[in-house]
Amino acid sequence: MAPTARATVRRLPERGSYDRADVHAVLDEGLIAHVGLAGDDGPVVIPMLYGRLGDRLILHGSPASRLLRGGAKGVDLCVTVTLIDGLVLARSAFHHSMNYRSVVIFGRATPVRDLDERRAALDALVEHIVPGRRVDARPPTEKELRGTLVLALPLDECSVKARTGGPKDEPEDMDLDVWAGVIPLATTVGEPVAATDLRVDAPVPAYARGYRRPGAQVRSA
């Protein structure tokens, strides 16, 4: 897809991508989106869970949320999702960096008003967080659906930026007696812990025992 002016990666443009598959890959692996807008009281950025339904990003929350109310009124949003893959240690302090993948999305969201569409959007959000969970959990009631504000943000104006590889030091620093390299980072999943008020002898589901983020893998330098 061709980038718009504000979605164009300007600094280190060789790290940028506008490929829809690259956008989907980062969004599908991530868990937290930082959603920002400029309101009457100034800019605000809130971390939120999200889901992806095709080429739309799904956001949800209380109708009392100032940010979601602004989004529902058509205020421009800026959403970012970032995955950190490693700490890059260079020989000089100046060239320390991170290996990362990030998506930036601009646009105006649309409220999901139809209750069936709202249910599908919330199902997609649950599946994004824990694939397989939707079929086990009780679905939302009509009251719960009506009490949840759901926004759909099109992925029409976005970009991906990523850094990979080792440190990039100055030639005159290459012989310094200083270790340089990458410390890989990854999300570690622990053993599931049952709720203390669990009243049935339900086994731990396979999607909880073997939980991992879609697309996640061990990355080396």
pLDDT one-digit tens code per residue, 166-175: 999 999 999 9
Pick the closest to residue 182 from 161, 168, 198 (CA basis).
Answer: 168
∠ CA 162-163-167, nearest 5°, is: 175
| pLDDT, mean of residues 154-176 | 96
Give which of 184, 183, 186, 191 is closest to 217, Cα–Cα.
186
Tell me: pLDDT of 215 over 70: yes
Domains belonging to the chain, first-starting first, are 13-209 (2.30.110.10)
Interval 91-128: pLDDT, tens = 999 999 999 999 999 999 999 999 999 999 999 999 99
User: Residue 163 is encoded by which pair of tokens?
Assistant: 């850094």
CA–CA dist 174, 197 (Å, integer)? 59
Q: In whole angstroms, what is the distance from residue 14 CA to residue 160 CA?
A: 11
pLDDT-based confidence at residue 217 (cuts at 50, 70, 90): low
Confidence (pTM): 0.90
Give the integer Cα–Cα distance in Å for 208 and 78. 32
Q: What pLDDT is recorded for position 174?
A: 95
Residues recorded for the chain: 221
pLDDT band at 219 (very low <50, low <70, confident <90, very high): very low
Q: Which of 183, 63, 51, 218 is nearest to 120 (CA)?
A: 51
81 has which bridge partners?
103
Write down the pLDDT at residue 1. 62
C-alpha 77/C-alpha 159 separation (Å) is 14
What is the arithmetic mean of pLDDT over 155-169?
96
pLDDT tens across 74-95, in order? 899 999 999 999 999 999 999 9
DSSP 65: -
DSSP states of 158-169 as a string? EEEEEE-SS---
Residue 218 has pLDDT above 60, yes or no: no
Alpha carbons 98 and 165: distance in angstroms, whole number: 9
- Which of 79, 82, 102 has the alpha carbon at shortest distance from 153? 79
Q: Are 20 and 1 in contact (CB under 8 A)?
A: yes
- pLDDT at residue 221 above 70? no
**Taking the CB of residue 99, how many other CB atoms lie within 10 A of it?**
21
Residue whose entry in the numeric block shows the structure tokens 């009509």: 142
Q: pLDDT band for 66, please (50, 70, 90 cuts).
A: confident
Q: What are 1-56's pLDDT values in tens digits?
A: 678 888 888 888 888 889 999 999 999 999 999 999 987 778 999 999 999 999 99
